[in-house]
Amino acid sequence: MDILSATDDSVRTLFTQYQKLVCAAIVPRGLQLTLQYAKILKDNPTLAHESALAQEADTSASTNNLKAYKLAIHQAAVSISRRPVPDRIPHSSIGTVRESRAAQEAEAVAKVREHACLRYSITTR
């Protein structure tokens, strides 16, 4: 397998996972959630395509041989498939693996800070 066909297969794999993530409205989950997903899709019809291309570019820039590239693409696809379904934009599930991880870490830090502030305000009363 040459690098071009590997890249085509990789982009297709990533696109499928991003499309499943963004198009979760197909799965019946209740009217309110379905409307939220439909709005994301309506407002950002190329989101899965853009995310797949960005992930492929990030992966190809960070790997130096075909075997490592294929493994990294597979790991990215698995990671994407396990993300929570987004209900708004921006959302920590949207973007490359690196972007999603950074967004999740930022959310965790914000929660810790919020909790610390609440705890401080309760103890100083």
Domain carrying residue 26: 3-123
Angle at 48 between CA 55 and CA 52, to 5 degrees: 20
pTM value is: 0.72
Number of domains comprising the chain: 1
- Per-residue confidence in pLDDT tens, the chain, 125 aa: 555 577 788 888 888 888 777 665 444 444 444 555 567 777 888 888 888 899 999 999 999 899 999 999 999 999 988 888 787 888 888 889 999 999 999 999 998 888 777 666 666 65
What's residue 45's pLDDT?
82
Cβ atoms of residues 38 and 25 within 8 Å: yes
